[in-house]
Structure 1
Amino acid sequence: MSSTTTANRRPLYGWLTSEAVSLTGTRVSMLALPYFVLVTTDSPVKTGLVALFEMVPLVLLKVLGGPIIDRVGARRVSITCDVGSLFVVGSIPLLYDAGLLRFGALLALVALAGALRGPGDAAKGAIVPGLVESAQVPMERATGLHATVERSATMLGAAFAGGLIAVIGAANALVVDAVSFGLSALLLAWATASMARPAATGAEGEEGDPLPYRAQLAAGWHFLRGDRVLLAIAFMVALTNMIDAAYASVLMPVWARTWGGGPAVLGLVFAVFGGFAALGAICAATWAARLPRYTTYLVTFLVCGSPRFFVLAWDNPLWTVLAIAVVSGFGSGFINPILGAVIYERIPGHLVGRVSSLITALCFALMPIGPLLGGAIISGAGLMVAMLVAGSAYFLVTMLPAVDPKWREIDVRPAVEPAEQVSEGTPAPA
C-alpha cells in the first residue's frame, strides 16, 4: 500500500452506508417473504419453493456475471442491479394489494429478483479491494467493518420486520426492501464517484484484445480450482449456508408460529442474534488482525453453529432461546471478517470479479435445497427432528477443518499489495 498517495476514505464509508441501507431492507424481506407465503398458503413446502426460485437464478447469475464485473466495472454493475431490484421487488406488494398476485407470478418475480441480486451482490464484494486501496486501511479492518454493518442490519431489519409484518402485513413490508435498493444505488453512486480510476495496465488477450467471455470465465475457475484453501472455504460455507437457509426460511417461521409467539418473537430472536453478531464484528474489526485465524474460526463456529438449533428442538422458555442467541451471535461476528480477509488476500487483482463471484456462487449453490429439505423434514417428521438434524449437520460441517491440516494456511497473512480497482468500462489487466 503506497504511502505517497493521500487516503480517500469516502468511498469506503459511503459503500458501508450503502450496504447498511440495502442489507437492512433485505433482512426485512428475509422474514417478510417466507412468513407471507407461509400464512397465505399454510404450506412449508411452498415456502421452501419460493426460496428455491429466488436462489437458483441468484447463484447462476453470480457465476455468469463475474467476467462482466471485471470488464464493465463492479461499481456500474452494482448500481444497475440495485435500480432494477427497486422495480422488481416493489412490484410484489403492488400486485398483491391490487389482487393480481398469483403464486406463479410471485415465483416469477422472486426469480427475477434473485437474478438481479446475484451479480449485484458479487459486484459489491468485488469493489472491496479498490475501496481498501483508496482508504489505505488493513483488509481485515474493511471486512470487519462490513461484517459489523451486515450484523447490525440483521438486528435492525429483523426487529423492524417483526413490527412491520404485525402492523401492515408481510407483503406490504416488502416495500421497505424495494426502497432500500434505490437508496443504496444513490449512495454508492455518490460515494464512489471520487474514486481514482487507474489506467489499464494491459490486456488479457493477444494484440491488446480482451479474452472472450468464456475464456475469462474459465480463467477464474482455473485459479479457484488450484487454490485448495479457497475451494475448501467455498464448500464449507456452501453447506452451512444451506442449513442456515432452511433455518431462516422455514424452520424459524414454523417455530415462531407453533411455539414462539408469531412474527414479533421471530423478529426479536433474529434481532438479538444480529445485535450481538454486530458486537462480535466490531471486536473482529479491532482485534482480528492480531488473532490466530484458524483457532478463532474453530472456537467461534463451535458456539455460533449447532447450539441455536438444539435449543429450539424442545419447548424451552424464551429467555433460554435468547441467551443462546446472544452467545452464538457474538461468535458469528468473527467469521466473515476472517474468511473475507483470507479470500481477498489470495485473489489477484485482475481476477477479483470472476473468482469472488465464483466463490460466493459456490457458497450460495446449495441454499435453494435447504428450505426444501427443511420443509420436507418438518412435514414428514416434525419440527423437533428437523432442528436436531440441522444442528447435528452444522456441527459436523464446521468442525471438519479441525482434522484437515490444509486449513491452517488461513493463519498465513501474505505481505501483498491490495488489488487495484479495475476502471469502469476497461478490461482488467492480465
Structure 2
Amino acid sequence: MRRPLYGWLVSEAVSLTGTRISMVALPWLVLTTTGSATRTGLVALAEMLPLVVLKVLGGPVIDRLGARRVAITCDLLSVVAVGAIPLLHESGWLPFPLFLLLVAVAGGLRGPGDAAKAALTPALVTEAGVPLERATGLHSTVERTASLLGAAAAGGLVALVGAADALVVDALSFGVSAAVLAWSTSTLARPAAAVVDQPPAAYATRLREGWSHLRGDRILLGIAIMVSLTNLLDLANAAVLVPVWAKATTGSAATVGLLFATFGGAAAIGAVCASAWADRLPRYRTYLLAFLICGAPRYVVLALDVPLWTVLAVCAASGFASGFINPILGAVMYERIPDALVGRVTSLSTAMGFALMPFGGLLGGLLVAGLGLSPALLITGAAYFAVTMLPAVDRRWREIDRRPAREPAAVSA
C-alpha cells in the first residue's frame, strides 16, 4: 500500500515549505525590529546549534519510541513554539532573550523531528514495495521544489503581511504536516526491533552503538564527511561568493535569485528523473558524473568573464545533475544501516552534514577578503572537486553499485 509513502511526501512538502518561509521571516523580523546584524546572527546560531545537537542526541529516542511517534510529536510541539513568536510579538511581550529561547526550542524540535521523518524511509519503502531510489528521489524532488516555492512565497508573504504574521503560516504548516503524517501512516508497521520486548539498554550505550556502526562503515562515514564538507563550500558560495559576484557584475540582487532559481528548478527536474531511472543506473559512475557536472564548473564559470546566459546554462546543467545525487546516496545509506539502528545512524550522519554549515559564510568572507573574488571561487571549486572525487581513487566506493535484496523487516504494530 502506497498511502503512507505519498502521505509522508505531502507532509514533508508542507513542513519544508513552512520552514523555508521562516528562514526568510525570522532574520527579517530581527532586522526590522532591532536593526542589529549581530542579533540576527545570534538568532541563526540559536536555531542551528540546538538543531544539530538534538539531531545527534535524538537518535536513540527515535529507535526506542518509533520514528512515526517522534516525528508527529515534534511537529505538534513546533506549532506551539513557532506560533508563540508572532503571538507574543503582537502583544508586546517578546523581549529578545525570550525570542532567542523560542527560536532555540523550535530549532531543537526540528533536529529529531527531521531525523525521525528520514528514519521512516525504510518502512515506507517496504510498505509501498518500491525501490529505495524511487522513494529517496521523490523526497529529493519534494525538498528541492519546496525550497524553491517556499523561498519565493516567503518574499511575497513577508511583504504582504509582515515577518511576524508570516511565521503564523510556518506554525500552521507543522500542524498540517503532523495531521497528514498521522493519518497516512496509521497502518504503517513498525520495525520488529522497535516492538520486541527487551530490557532497554542505557541511553549512552544506544548512542554509542549508532556511532560505532557509522564509524565502522567506511562508505557511510565517507558519505557523511563528504556531505559535511560540500555543505560548507555550498554555503560559502550561496552566502558570500554568489552575492559578491552579482554585485560586481550586474549590481542587482535579482541576479542572485535568478541563479538560485535556475539551479533549484533544474535540480527538482533532475530529482524527478532520478526517482524514475536511478534504480536502473550504475550508482558509482552516476555519482562521479553528477558531481563532475554539478561541482567545480559552477565555481569556475563565475570566476571567468563570461556572459550571464553562459553562467545560467552551467547552473541549469549543474542543477539537473545534482538531482541524481541525493537519491543515490540516500538509497546507499538506508541499505547499509540495520533497521534497529536507522534512527541513530541517520541522526548522526545528518548532524555531521549540518555541523560545518555555520562556518560557510565565514569561510567565504575570509577567502574574498584575503584573495579576491576570482581566486576565492577557483580555490573553492578546486576543493569541491577534491572532496567529491575521492571515490574515484578509493576502490571500496564501488560497493555502492551492489543492491542487496532488502528483507521485509516489519511486523504489525
The TM-score, its normalising length taken from structure 2, stands at 0.87
Partner amino acid, structure 1, of 2:108? A
What is the CA distance between 1:173 and its match in structure 2? 3.6
- CA distance 1:333–1:421, change in 2 (3 Å): farther
Give the alignment partner of residue 211 of structure 1, picking from 186, 201, 213. 201
What is the CA distance between 1:387 and its match in structure 2? 4.3
| Aligned equivalent of 1:5 | none
Partner amino acid, structure 1, of 2:291? F
What is the CA distance between 1:329 and its match in structure 2? 1.2
Q: Distance in 2 between matches of 1:106 and 1:317?
A: 45
| Aligned equivalent of 1:279 | 269
Q: Distance in 2 between matches of 1:382 and 1:214?
A: 47
| Aligned equivalent of 1:358 | 348
The answer to whether the 8 Å contact 1:154/1:271 transfers is no
The answer to whether the 8 Å contact 2:191/2:340 transfers is no
Work out whether 1:391 is the aligned partner of 2:381. yes
| Aligned equivalent of 1:325 | 315
Give the alignment partner of residue 122 of structure 2, picking from 98, 113, 129. 129
What is the CA distance between 1:191 and its match in structure 2? 0.6
Partner amino acid, structure 2, of 1:261? S
Give the alignment partner of residue 269 of structure 1, picking from 243, 248, 259. 259
Work out whether 1:10 is the aligned partner of 2:3. yes
- CA distance 1:319–1:45, change in 2 (3 Å): farther
SS in 1 for 2:228: helix
- CA distance 1:218–1:201, change in 2 (3 Å): closer
Give the alignment partner of residue 153 of structure 2, picking from 131, 145, 160. 160
- CA distance 1:418–1:86, change in 2 (3 Å): same
The answer to whether the 8 Å contact 1:49/1:372 transfers is no
- Comparing 189-198 with 43-52, greater Cα deviation is found at 43-52
- CA distance 1:317–1:158, change in 2 (3 Å): farther
Q: Distance in 2 between matches of 1:56 and 1:233?
A: 22
What is the CA distance between 1:360 and its match in structure 2? 1.2
Q: Distance in 1 between matches of 2:314 and 2:92?
A: 41
| Aligned equivalent of 1:59 | 52
| Aligned equivalent of 1:411 | 401
What is the CA distance between 1:128 and its match in structure 2? 0.8
Q: Distance in 2 between matches of 1:24 and 1:172?
A: 15
The TM-score, its normalising length taken from structure 1, stands at 0.84
SS in 2 for 1:368: helix
- Comparing 174-183 with 114-123, greater Cα deviation is found at 174-183
- CA distance 1:323–1:98, change in 2 (3 Å): farther
Work out whether 1:241 is the aligned partner of 2:249. no
- Comparing 25-34 with 340-349, greater Cα deviation is found at 25-34
SS in 1 for 2:56: helix
- Comparing 294-303 with 92-101, greater Cα deviation is found at 92-101
What is the CA distance between 1:219 and its match in structure 2? 1.2
For each residue in 1:111-140, what CA deviation from the matched residue of structure 2 results, as whole angstroms up to 9, or x when unmatched? 222211110010001111111111111111
| Aligned equivalent of 2:185 | 192
- Comparing 139-148 with 28-37, greater Cα deviation is found at 28-37
What is the CA distance between 1:380 and its match in structure 2? 6.2
Q: How many equivalent pairs are there?
A: 412
For each residue in 1:213-234, what CA deviation from the matched residue of structure 2 results, as whole angstroms up to 9, or x when unmatched? 1111111111112111101001
Higher RCO (Cα < 8 Å, 6 or more apart)? 1
- CA distance 1:342–1:112, change in 2 (3 Å): same
What is the CA distance between 1:101 and its match in structure 2? 5.6
What is the CA distance between 1:184 and its match in structure 2? 0.8
What is the CA distance between 1:39 and its match in structure 2? 7.3
The answer to whether the 8 Å contact 1:48/1:375 transfers is no
More helix by share: 2
What is the CA distance between 1:50 and its match in structure 2? 3.7
Query: What's the RMSD between the two structures over aligned residues?
Result: 3.1
Q: Distance in 2 between matches of 1:93 and 1:310?
A: 43
Give the alignment partner of residue 80 of structure 1, picking from 73, 76, 89. 73
The answer to whether the 8 Å contact 2:193/2:339 transfers is no
Partner amino acid, structure 2, of 1:79? I
Query: How do 1:100-139 and structure 2 match up within 5 A?
Result: 104-139=97-132
Partner amino acid, structure 1, of 2:348? L
- Comparing 383-392 with 67-76, greater Cα deviation is found at 383-392
The answer to whether the 8 Å contact 1:131/1:421 transfers is no
- Comparing 273-282 with 93-102, greater Cα deviation is found at 93-102
Segments of 5+ residues of structure 2 without an aligned counterpart are none
Q: Distance in 1 between matches of 2:233 and 2:55?
A: 20
| Aligned equivalent of 1:222 | 212
| Aligned equivalent of 1:30 | 23
